[in-house]
Amino acid sequence: MQALVIVLNQTEKLEKLLMNFAAKGITGGTLIDSKGMAKELYSKHKDLPMFGTLSMLLNESRPLNKTIFLVLDDEKVEVAKQVVRETLEDISKKGVGIMFTVPVTSVEGLNN
Per-residue confidence (pLDDT) for residue 56, from 0 to 100: 46
* Domain range annotation of the chain: 2-34+63-103
Per-residue confidence (pLDDT) for residue 91, from 0 to 100: 87
Q: What is the CA radius of gyration of the chain?
A: 16
**Nearest alpha-carbon partner for 83 in 66, 68, 95, 93:** 68
Give residue-wise pLDDT tens across range 48-82. Answer: 555 455 444 445 555 689 999 999 999 999 999 99
Per-residue confidence (pLDDT) for residue 109, from 0 to 100: 87
**Which carries the bigger pLDDT value, residue 112 or residue 96?**
96
Q: Does domain 2-34+63-103 have CATH number 2.40.10.10?
A: no
Give residue-wise pLDDT tens across range 1-49. Answer: 999 999 999 999 999 999 999 999 999 899 999 987 765 565 565 565 5
Per-residue confidence (pLDDT) for residue 49, from 0 to 100: 56
Would you call 77 exposed, middle or buried from its count of C-beta atoms within 10 A (0-12, 13-18, 19+)? middle
Global confidence as pTM: 0.78
